[in-house]
Each structure stands twice: as structure tokens, then as C-alpha cells.
Amino acid sequence: MSKLDLELTDLRKVFPEHFTEEQIAKAQTLFLKELAYDMHKFYGGKMITVPKAGLYGFNWFNVWYTPGVSKVSTSIRDDNDASFELSNRGNLVAVVSDSTRVLGDGDCTPPGGLGVMEGKAFLMKYLGGIDAVALCVDSYNKKGEHDADKIIEFVKMLQPSFGAVNLEDISQPNCYKVLDTLREECGIPVWHDDAQGTGCVTLAGLLNALKIVDKDIGKAKMAFFGAGASNTTIVRLIIKAGGNPENIIVVDSRGGLHKEREDIKADQRFYRKWEICESTNPKKVNSIDEAMKKADVLIALSKPGPDVIRPEWVSSMNNKAIVFTCANPVPEIYPYAAKEAGAYIVATGRGDFPNQVNNSLGFPGILKGALIVKAKKITDDMAIAAAYSMAKTAETRGINPENIVPLMSEWEVFPAEARDVAVQAIKDGVARVKLSSEEVYKKAEEDIKESRALVSHLMESGYIKKPPMEILERVLKKVVEKIE
């Protein structure tokens, strides 16, 4: 084993040389899970609240609180939109979840989602210069059922305090009703990152992958495995971006989506799935292995692997096949296995493999752009604008089969997204203020740089304590022993 470093720059090198590719993949997943637990326990979570205004003497309490703050209250009373300027509302996001579909772990009970929601807040702050609060809610009604209306009412009640809402890890079918209702009835953007976020980042990766293999989005044959909030939104955005519905086959746990799926038609809660049934899969293909035959693209967001997608199914795809297997925490097939089976470009949702098609590339910049122009909602066209922005950022610096989307470390993608989303918001008529693209970019860039500098300062000054290497080494030893 190579020496483990605090930056975790290349986990593959810290495992024994005799480990197979499958053992390394399993060890990486287990190491990250075990380390996450120990680090969250060490820090007591990931986020704190600190003032952004100064205290230059104790009389300043009378400015920040009573009696001085009375003028702020009455000003906002007379013009509610003044709250975006006179409070932190204009840069504050609520990360809301009922924790019923937490990553690959399913229903984790309401507080079980806090680790993920704090993680979203962490990423928003560092990558987008946005303040965010994790809000995990109990959506059970008196019948013991998860009730979409309870989440809807909760978000409507909290919107006066926030500039935007990020919905997260809400199981279907509630996720559809919650998002679509709140998008129309709230006066601030309501963004479902599992749906719209995954959709626009996947579209960005697909656009560049198709450029590399020289295939047209309107002619490419595409198979989708999984029909939850993510894939149903991905399909909608791909079609809106030029994909041909007749070349698309979506398969869920009960078979292909098509006009004869009476079970979906009969349950109006799954109206998004029925929209796909009506417009795609004209040949009524019913299995994923059949859907993948001669397909140019596979996009899977189904259940954690690694044996959900079989290598022989990948081998049946067209030449220079594009395979996105994005289940968390383990993809439906490991990238090495997909490549061995003949895939030309492989992407997953994980950062320890090439081509991380991950929402973290999208929501910080998208929400930042919406916040800067005080948008009332995020339209599908704004999400598509973000996808093209991401794709362009990667293409400008160079793309190849192992590098189709920007890396999280390429911070330039976020102000660029913010700019392009804000411009589209103005075009769509949902922005409260109109700014030039240069003004939006500059504001986003300044806020992101400031957030990163703040974190660096807290680390250098010791307010964020460096974790002991003994913890990392203990976790590594435990993982190696378990895998061996």
C-alpha cells in the first residue's frame, strides 16, 4: 500500500497491489463510507452559522437588533422584495427533504437525511458562494403515509425567509407533485436537484459525449434504465434539447414505458411517467436488455450495482457506445467492466472514477444565477442553458472519452453557469431584476472566491481543525482487512 495522504488524491494507490479492479472499487466505496462516519463524528456535522456583519462595539447590537432594526422591518413591510436586499434572504437557500429516498439508502427517517442536506449546504457555500440551511421534515400524515401536501405547505410557509428552495431526496410519486405544485405557486425558485439537477448535468455530459463519438442527438438511439424523478426529467430535457422521442426507450422495474402500460395510466400520481409512455418507445420494448441492443446511449439511474447492468448487454450496443451508470453509491456496472464489454465513454456519479456526472457541477451555479437576478422560478430553459454552459466550459479546455464534463475543481464553471442561467431567466421573464451577463458573472465570481477564501482562512487559523491522520489510517486498515 502507498502512504495515505490527507487530500485523498488517488485512493486507488493506497490499496494493496494484489487487489483486483473489483476489490479496489469495493474498497473505495467502503473506505469513503467509513471515513464519512468518523469525520462527521469528529466535526459534529459540517456546517455552522457565523455573522457577516461586524461588531465594532457593544452599541452595534442596537444597530443589528432593536431599536435600529425597526426601520428594516417597516421597510420590508412596505415592500416585501426589499427583504432580498436588507437581509440575507437574497443569498439563502432552504435544502428541504423528507428523507424518503436518501441516495441509495431509501427511507432513512426524517433526521436521516441531515448528513446529505448539510452536504448540499456545504457544496453550495464552497462552490457557489451561497448560504444554505438543511431542513429535514416529517411528512407523515395521520394515516402513517408520506404526504406530499405536508411538504408543499411547509415550503409555502418558509418561502418568506429564503431566496430559493432546493428539494432533495423525496420519493416518487410525491416528488412530482411537490415540485410541479411549488414551481407554479411559489414566488421564489423551487429546484428539485434529484430531478432537474441530475437532468441538466446528464444532458451536459451527453452533449459532449455525442460530440466525441460524432453522433447527433436527434438520431441517437437511447435506452434509459430507471424511471424515477431523475430519469423522467433527464428524458424530458433531452427531448427538449433535440432528442427524438421515437428513438428513446425507458424501462422501469415492471418493464418498458409505452402506451399500453395501463398500470401507469391508471395512477395519476405518476403523470410524468405517463407523459413518457405517450411519446416514446413506439415498438413497445419491455426489457432493458432488448432496449440496449443497437443503442447508442444508455443512461441508468436505477438501483446500486455492480451487477444491475450486465456486460453482455453493453456488448450488444452500437459502436462507440455511451454508458452513463449513475446509481449511488455504487454504479449499475463498474466503469472497468463496461469498458471491457465495449463501451467507448463511461460516466458515473462518483468522483473517484473518470467522468463524474454529478449534480454538484450544476446546482451551485444554477441557484447562484437565479438568486442574483432574484428569479421567481427556474424554468426548463434555464436548466438547459446551464447544461450547455457546463458542456461549453469543458469543451473550451478540451474534452476526451475520459473527460467529458468539468471537474469540481474547475471553479470557472460555476460563475459561467450563473451568468447563462441569469440571462435565460431574464429572457423567460422570471427575473425580478435585469443585469448584464458581465454583472452577473462578476458578482458570482466575487462571492465564490470569498467563500473559498473564508474556508481557507478558517482552516489555516485552526478554527476548522485538521483531522488526525490516525483516523484515516485506522479506517484504511479496517477496509483492507474486510476486503481481503
Q: How many Cα neighbours within 13 Å face the side chain of 395? A: 15
Q: What is the number of other CB atoms lying within 10 angstroms of the CB of residue 394?
A: 21
Q: CA-based angle 295:299:305, to the nearest 5?
A: 115
DSSP string over 447-476: HHHHHHHHHHHHHHTTSSPPPPHHHHHHHH
CB 190 within 8 A of CB 215: no
- Inter-CA distances, 331 with 103, 238, 299, 301, 417, Å: 12, 21, 11, 8, 27
Comparing 119 with 105, the larger pLDDT belongs to 119
Mean pLDDT of 329-341: 94
- Inter-CA distances, 297 with 1, 174, 284, 316, 410, Å: 37, 29, 18, 12, 26
List the catalytic residues.
65, 120
Give all domains of the chain, ordered by start, each with its CATH number.
1-44+438-484 (no CATH), 88-188 (3.40.50.10380), 194-435 (3.40.50.720)
Q: pLDDT value at position 275?
A: 95
Mean pLDDT of 281-295: 98
Which pTM does this prediction carry?
A: 0.93
The model's pLDDT over 423-479, given as tens digits with 9 standing for 90+, comes to: 999 999 999 999 999 999 999 999 999 999 999 999 999 999 999 999 999 999 999
CA distance 298 to 325: 8
CA distance 308 to 291: 15
Beta strands in 22-124 (DSSP E): 92-97
Q: How confident is the model at residue 1 (pLDDT cuts 50, 70, 90)?
A: low
Q: pLDDT value at position 447?
A: 98
Whether 309 shows a pLDDT value over 90: the answer reads yes
The three-class DSSP label of residue 372 is: helix
Mean pLDDT of 251-261: 96
| Residue 311: closest CA among 286, 329, 344, 334 | 334
